[in-house]
C-alpha cells in the first residue's frame, strides 16, 4: 500500500470509524468511539489476574512455610513448580480442557500453576535472608518458632515477597491474554476476534500493558506502606 490511494479512500468515505475498521488501520478517533466495548474484557482480565495471584500466593505461602520447617521439601517443590512453569501456556490450556472443560476453571488452574514457582521462590529466599543473629536473638528472648515466623521472619521477608508478587502479576497479565484459548475471555479474546485490525490490537494490548503497570504500582505502593523501616536510613 502506498500513501496516495489510502488518502484517496479516506476522502471517498468520510464515515471515519467504518472506514478505519475496514482498512484495519490505527486511528485514535475509532479508539475513542469504541473504547466502551473493551471494559468487559478488561474486567475479565483483571479477574483472570487477581484470582490466580491470590490463589497462587496462598498456595505458595503454605508451601513455603512447610518447606521452611522441613528444608528437604524445598528442592522437590521447586522442581515440580518449575515443571509447571516450563509447560508452554497454550499447551496447558489445551491439555487441561479434557479434564476441566472450556472456561474459567481451565484458565485458573493453568494461571495459578505459573505463579507458584515465582512466588514460592521469593518467599523462600526472603525467609532465608533473615540473618541468623536475628533469629537467634528472637529465640533467645523466648519467642516460639511460630512467633519467630510471624513476627520476625515473614515481616522481614516482605520486600522479597512483594518483588515476587510484582513479577508474578506481570507474568499473569501477559499469560491471561492467552486464556482465550481456554475459553475464558479477557483482553486476549478481543485481540483474537480482530487480530488484523491495528486499532483493536493496540487498544486491547495497550490495556493489558496498563493493567500490568497498575498492578506493579499497586504492589510497590503496598510494599512502601507496610515496610516503613526500608525507607528509614540514618
Partner 1 sequence: MSTAEPLEFRAATKRYPGSATPAVDQLSLEVPAGEICVLVGPSGCGKTTAMRMVNRMIDITEGDILLGGRSVRDRKPEDLRRNIGYVIQQIGLFPHRTIGENVATVPSLLGWDKARTAARVEELLELIGLEAEMRDRYPSQLSGGQRQRVGVARALAVDPPVMLMDEPFGAIDPINRERLQNEFLRLQAELRKTIVFVTHDIDEAIKMGDRIAVLQTGGKLAQYAPPAELLMYPASRFVEDFVGSDRALKRLALQRVRDIDLWTAAKIRVGTPVAEARAAIDEADVSIAMLVDEKGRPQGWLSDRALAGERVTDDRRSPAHPILELDDILRDALANLLSTETRYGAVVDSNGALAGILSLEVIQHFLQAAPTASLTGADLLGE
Q: Of 5 and 228, which has the nearer Cβ to partner 1?
A: 228
Task: Tell me the CB-side half-sphere exposure of residue 161, using CA atoms within 13 A.
Answer: 24
Q: Of 144 and 193, which has the nearer Cβ to partner 1?
A: 144
Q: Of 39 and 229, which has the nearer Cβ to partner 1?
A: 229
Helices (H) and strands (E) in the chain, counts: 12, 0
Q: How far is the CB of 141 from partner 1 (least distance, A)?
A: 5
Residue 223 near residue 60 (C-beta atoms within 8 A): no
Q: Which residues bind partner 1 (CB under 8 A)?
A: 131, 133-144, 147, 152, 155-156, 158, 227-229, 232-234
Q: How far is the CB of 156 from partner 1 (least distance, A)?
A: 5
| CB atoms inside a 10 Å sphere around CB 98 | 8
Cα distance between residue 115 and residue 118, in whole Å: 6
Q: How far is the CB of 137 from partner 1 (least distance, A)?
A: 3
Cα distance between residue 119 and residue 162, in whole Å: 9
Q: How far is the CB of 61 from partner 1 (least distance, A)?
A: 18
Total count of residues recorded for the chain = 234
Q: Of 134 and 193, which has the nearer Cβ to partner 1?
A: 134
Amino acid at each position: 500500500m502506498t500513501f496516495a490511494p489510502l488518502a484517496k479512500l479516506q476522502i471517498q468515505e468520510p464515515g471515519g470509524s467504518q472506514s478505519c475498521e475496514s482498512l484495519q488501520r490505527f486511528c485514535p478517533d475509532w479508539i475513542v468511539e469504541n473504547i466502551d466495548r473493551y471494559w468487559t474484557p478488561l474486567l475479565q482480565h483483571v479477574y483472570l489476574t487477581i484470582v490466580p495471584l491470590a490463589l497462587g500466593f496462598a498456595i505458595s505461602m503454605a508451601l513455603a512455610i512447610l518447606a521452611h520447617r522441613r528444608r528437604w521439601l524445598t528442592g522437590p517443590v521447586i522442581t515440580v513448580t518449575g515443571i509447571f512453569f516450563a509447560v508452554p501456556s497454550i499447551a496447558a490450556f489445551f491439555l487441561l480442557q479434557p479434564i476441566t472443560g472450556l472456561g474459567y476453571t481451565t484458565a485458573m488452574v493453568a494461571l495459578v500453576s505459573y505463579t507458584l514457582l515465582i512466588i514460592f521462590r521469593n518467599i523462600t529466599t526472603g525467609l532465608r535472608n533473615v540473618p541468623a543473629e536475628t533469629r537467634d536473638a528472637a529465640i533467645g528472648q523466648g519467642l516460639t518458632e511460630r512467633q519467630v515466623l510471624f513476627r520476625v521472619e515473614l515481616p522481614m521477608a516482605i520486600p522479597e515477597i512483594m518483588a515476587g508478587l510484582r513479577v508474578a502479576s506481570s507474568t499473569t497479565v501477559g499469560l491471561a491474554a492467552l486464556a482465550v484459548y481456554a475459553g475464558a475471555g479477557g483482553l486476549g479474546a478481543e485481540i483474537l476476534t480482530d487480530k488484523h485490525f491495528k486499532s483493536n490490537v493496540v487498544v486491547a494490548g495497550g490495556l493489558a500493558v496498563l493493567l500490568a503497570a497498575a498492578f506493579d504500582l499497586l504492589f510497590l505502593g503496598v510494599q512502601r506502606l507496610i515496610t516503613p523501616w526500608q525507607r528509614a536510613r540514618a
